[in-house]
């Protein structure tokens, strides 16, 4: 049985007293075992990071950028290898896996310009003979705790910026699909980063707590469920760390009466069911405005869902593959039953889906609910599977209120031809990322990703300039070069003013 070990100080660390199972979601069989570490493994990684980071921080930004250029080229060279590795453990189809990698790679492309974004501010003559300037310096050692649903993209969102600005970085990936982050660490070494700058430690809650408590880790970035995000934020901040913790979501798609319904249905098919719905930016709730819009949308959605092909991850014709493991399959099917018990109309039931030749795989067919209400627990919580819920609204104001009042505030979309309605919606909706005729509004790499409310804890978003600010600290220097000595008498003890 293949063992996936920790990647520390440029090589594999085999120290493990516990192991976790890594499944093939297509067959339901165990394909590997991952080492589960704790404090001693983390201490080894931190020691290697401490050894490597000072020299890396002292490396000029242009040379660090060249490592990022090399890493980008290596990711592109190994794209097929990485995509198949990702699909084999996660279950998403190859096209989705390549998209996962590509969106992470776009942040690496942003990091290739790190010398420019690290330039500080300068004021000449702020006072008599006084200049003031600032510089951004790395924090030291950062850590990322990443989820199973994007094992390439989210680690690159985190470590790309953190390493480019001069930090060392330790990833704790999901133990469900840990191979891709290890391969990324190998490729970062090949790109020219010193051993100890990017390392991977595996584990469960024991490792998470060790990271949050370690006094030599300065900052932690997390993506996962909201309850755990809140826990990570509170414990990390209590330990004196800088923390950004991204949580769950329940993204809504508002469909105005003037929307192009054919385009909406096409967008919903991908946004609700792509990657088996295992995306924090999926679109699991659609809100048609008006009964006529709702009936027309439903009538078009049913045949579109019937045309979706569920297949193994290597099936090039499949629209989506299995969910990640048996426990998650059970969880999603449990939420479908909850929706039925709560009185929602189950229009299409994806439970019991079996793929010929892969009957033990973790597959769920596309599922559609109608007449879902805001009082239902299945509406309030994140299902994280191939389930689309229709929540009907009578007016624009009612539709606007739904995502605004929801506990999550990650993403939202509006479909309309009316510029005023779109502008009004974007300005007023209480959600962090908004799409206008864009179903999955994940910002490009040089902007920043982050939700509101229980979708994010901490006040700094991921990647872009927000990421640069999160992974650096600002130092401000006030300098005076007098003609003579350094001053004497009482004036030497007075704080200089800029008057």
Q: Are 86 and 312 in contact (CB under 8 A)?
A: no
Measured CA to CA, the distance from residue 388 to residue 367 in angstroms comes to 6
Rg (CA), the chain: 25
Q: Which two tokens stand for residue 280?
A: 């924090």
Q: Which two tokens stand for residue 317?
A: 């014709």
Q: Which two tokens stand for residue 261?
A: 């319904």
Measured CA to CA, the distance from residue 154 to residue 142 in angstroms comes to 14
Q: Which residues pair with 242 in a beta bridge?
A: 219
Q: Are 23 and 325 in contact (CB under 8 A)?
A: yes
Taking the CA atoms of 291, 286, 382 and 310 in sequence, report the sign of the dihedral they define.
Answer: positive
Q: Are 346 and 340 in contact (CB under 8 A)?
A: yes
DSSP conformation class of 374: T
> Where are the alpha helices (H) located in 192-286, listed in sequence order?
205-213, 226-238, 261-273
Nearest Cα residue to 216 out of 8, 7, 43, 471: 43
Measured CA to CA, the distance from residue 408 to residue 384 in angstroms comes to 13
Phi-psi region of 453 (alpha: psi -120 to 50; beta: other; left: phi over 0): left
Task: Report in angstroms the alpha-carbon separations of 134 from 164, 477, 478.
Answer: 19, 6, 9
Active-site residue 111, yes or no?
Answer: no
Measured CA to CA, the distance from residue 469 to residue 106 in angstroms comes to 18
Of the residues 280, 281, 368, 390, which is catalytic? 280
Task: Report in angstroms the alpha-carbon separations of 297 from 77, 294, 304, 422.
Answer: 42, 5, 11, 19
The length of the chain, given as a count of residues: 499
Active site residues: 280
């Amino acid at each position: 049985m293949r063992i996936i070990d920790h990647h520390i100080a440029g090589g594999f660390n085999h120290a493990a007293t516990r192991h976790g199972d890594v499944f093939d979601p297509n067959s339901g069989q165990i394909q590997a075992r991952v080492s589960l570490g704790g404090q001693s493994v983390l201490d080894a990684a931190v020691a290697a990071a401490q050894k490597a980071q000072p020299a890396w921080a002292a490396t000029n930004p242009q040379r660090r950028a060249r490592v990022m250029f090399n890493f980008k080229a290596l990711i592109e060279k190994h794209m097929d290898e990485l995509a198949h590795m990702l699909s084999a453990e996660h279950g998403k189809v190859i096209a989705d896996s390549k998209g996962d990698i590509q969106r992470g790679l776009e942040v690496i492309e942003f990091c290739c310009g790190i010398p420019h974004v690290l330039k500080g501010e300068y004021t000449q003559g702020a006072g008599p003979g006084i200049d003031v300037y600032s510089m951004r310096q790395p924090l030291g050692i950062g850590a990322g705790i990443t989820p199973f649903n994007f094992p390439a993209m989210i680690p690159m969102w985190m470590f790309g910026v953190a390493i480019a600005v001069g930090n060392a970085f330790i990833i704790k990936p999901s133990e469900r699909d840990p191979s891709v982050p290890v391969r990324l660490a190998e490729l970062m070494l090949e790109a020219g980063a010193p051993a100890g700058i990017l390392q991977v430690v595996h584990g469960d809650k024991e490792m998470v707590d060790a990271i949050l408590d370690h006094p030599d880790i300065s900052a932690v970035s997390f993506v996962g469920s909201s309850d755990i995000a809140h826990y990570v934020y509170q414990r990390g901040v209590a330990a004196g760390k800088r923390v950004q913790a991204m949580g769950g979501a329940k993204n809504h798609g508002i469909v105005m009466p003037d929307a192009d319904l054919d385009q909406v249905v096409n967008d919903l098919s991908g946004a609700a069911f792509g990657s088996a719905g295992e995306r924090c930016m999926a679109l699991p709730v659609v809100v048609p405005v008006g009964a006529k819009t709702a009936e027309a949308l439903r009538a078009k959605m049913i045949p579109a869902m019937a045309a979706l092909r569920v297949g193994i991850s290597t099936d090039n014709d499949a629209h989506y593959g299995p969910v990640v493991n048996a426990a998650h399959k059970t969880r999603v099917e449990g939420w479908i039953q909850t929706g039925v018990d709560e009185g929602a109309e189950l229009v299409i039931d994806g439970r019991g889906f079996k793929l010929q030749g892969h009957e033990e795989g973790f597959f769920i067919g596309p599922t559609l609910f109608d007449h879902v209400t805001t009082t239902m627990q299945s509406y309030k919580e994140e299902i994280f599977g191939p389930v689309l819920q229709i929540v009907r609204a009578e007016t624009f104001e009612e539709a606007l209120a739904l995502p605004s009042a929801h506990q999550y505030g990650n993403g939202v979309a509006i479909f309309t031809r009316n510029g005023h309605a779109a502008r009004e919606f974007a300005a007023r909706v209480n959600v962090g990322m908004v799409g206008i005729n864009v179903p999955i509004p994940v910002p490009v790499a040089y902007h920043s990703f982050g939700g509101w409310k229980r979708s994010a804890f901490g006040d700094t978003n991921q990647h872009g300039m927000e990421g640069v600010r999160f992974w650096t600290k600002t130092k401000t220097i006030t300098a005076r070069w007098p003609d003579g000595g350094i001053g004497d008498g009482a004036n030497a003890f007075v704080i200089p003013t800029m008057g």
